[in-house]
Amino acid sequence: MLNLHLIMKDVLIQKKQIIFGFFYLLFIIFAFQNSDVGTFIIGITAFTYLVVTYSCASEEKNRADVMLNSLPVKRSQIVAMKYLSVVIFFLSGTLAYMLFTGLLKNSGFNIKIYMLTIEGFLAGFISVSLMTGIYFPIYFKVGYMKSRILNLILFFSIFTGVSYIAQYIQHMDNNALNKLLAGILASQSNFSIAVILLALTVIFQLISYGISVKIYNNREL
């Protein structure tokens, strides 16, 4: 129950930033309307990045670590709270994206809309998982202020990289590499591919979580 309260605390503190993130998400839908699946990947990665980093900055500024560690809660649980909060932010951003694109599609605006698909959802989840999986160990090691520049490089590298790969696969030509990839993908069902990608993403997150816990347990407050 305490973990749930910690997660809800993280969400409630960020409510203004989450609302701002929704408007930023809407801006991205317009600004990257020709990016197909990249629109959602860029949007959801940017939204999650904004909320997560603001949360970390706010906690560092207010010395929330000291307060949290005075509670009857393990440090591993504090770390887990951060990772679980990302899932809530990701899902809330996804729902907002679906709402915005649904409204825009029926509004008569002259805009190209990418309606979210399972493939897009999976690509967005992988992008967000890569970003947070790399970011959190760095944050727990050096804090928010010392990692700001690295965070920006990480953010732009991941969402542009994943977007490019997703669009490349979506528009594959008939060269040798594409034929090889197509052959590998054709030998697996869509469900099998999705399960493999999700499993790899979860494994990556678990490794990241383990590293973050080890770093945070050895950190002096």
Q: Tell me the pTM.
A: 0.80
Q: How many domains does the chain have?
A: 1
> Nearest 5°: CA angle at 129, between 81 and 95?
80
pLDDT (average), residues 167-192? 54
Q: Which of 53-62, 125-134, 149-158 has the lowest mean pLDDT?
A: 149-158
Mean pLDDT of 142-152: 79
Nearest Cα to 215, choosing from 147, 130, 157, 127?
147
- pLDDT higher than threshold 80 for residue 78: yes
Burial of 24 (0-12, 13-18, 19+ CB in 10 A): middle
Range of the domain at 175: 2-162+170-217
Query: What percent of the chain has a predicted confidence (pLDDT) above 90?
Result: 18
Mean pLDDT estimate for the chain = 79
What tokens appear for 38 in the block?
A: 């990249």
- With CA atoms as reference, report the closest residue to 51 among 95, 27, 21, 94: 21
Q: Tell me how far apart the 2 most distant CA atoms of the chain are, in Å.
A: 60
Highest mean pLDDT among 39-48, 157-166, 183-192: 39-48
pLDDT of residue 166: 57
What is the band of 32 on the pLDDT scale with cuts at 50, 70, 90? confident
Query: Which tops the pLDDT comparison, 131 or 165?
Result: 131
pLDDT at position 5, please? 65
Estimate to the nearest angstrom the gap between the alpha carbon of 114 and the chain centroid: 19
